[in-house]
Amino acid sequence: MPLASKVSFHVRKKMFALFMAVMRPTEETSILDLGVTSDDRYQESNYFERFYPHKNRIVCAGTEDGSHLETDYPGVTFVPIKANHRLPFPNGQFDVVFSSAVIEHTGGKRGQQFFVEEILRVGKAFFVTTPNRWFPVEMHTGLPLLQYLPMPLYRSVLGRIGFPYWASEENLNLLDARSLSRLFPPSVSVKVATTRLLGIPSNLVAYGGDRCAE
């Protein structure tokens, strides 16, 4: 786990650098970090709050208890939310909605589309990351190549070898670049970038909106 944590932290620093480059936030930019975790054991947990300099402009929201972030990073505001419910924010409240490695946990395609709809409703721009299905090692189970199987077979095998939680589509629905971009409506211009690990695309980033650099 320590090595895995170091690798994860390295990749997340790359994604944060990409966020700063394409979103070009200022000290006035309001940001929603959607999907924070209660887990504070690892340095990569809630990395946006760790790295972002203007913490008083961050509202973070999650289904887990992230209230500790208000103490860990003074200026941050935490708001609890419920899975598969509308976000408790008005339309267009935030300049940017940032969400890291959450969308793959929001259910099947319909749940993921609803997640995207809410991001687009409350934010003027978006930056959404997810692990790349085609990376050779699946990041939740640590298993190599199994995710290359057709999804029904993949889920069946996972359940049989001791991973019933991750076998459920409600808990993990892996995405590739095409399926990620198709979660956004045709009217929304979305770019999909990658971050790489050992030269292989390990994570996908979908971003767009009125703040984006070309």
Domains annotated for the chain, with CATH where assigned, are 2-132+175-209 (3.40.50.150)
Predicted pLDDT of residue 42: 84
Predicted pLDDT of residue 210: 80
Mean pLDDT, residues 29-34: 98
Asked whether the beta carbons of 20 and 37 are under 8 A apart, the reply is no
Predicted pLDDT of residue 1: 55
In 3D space, the residue among 141, 138, 129, 133 whose CA is nearest the CA of residue 48 turns out to be 129
List the 77-80 sheet strands across, edge first: 77-80, 58-62, 31-34, 96-100, 125-131, 200-209, 191-197
| pLDDT per position as a tens digit, 49-98 | 999 999 999 999 999 999 999 999 999 999 999 999 999 999 999 999 99
Mean pLDDT, residues 168-180: 98
Predicted pLDDT of residue 5: 86
Average pLDDT of the chain, as a whole number: 95
The dihedral built from the CA positions of residue 26, 28, 29 and 33, taken in this order, carries a sign that is: positive
Predicted pLDDT of residue 213: 62
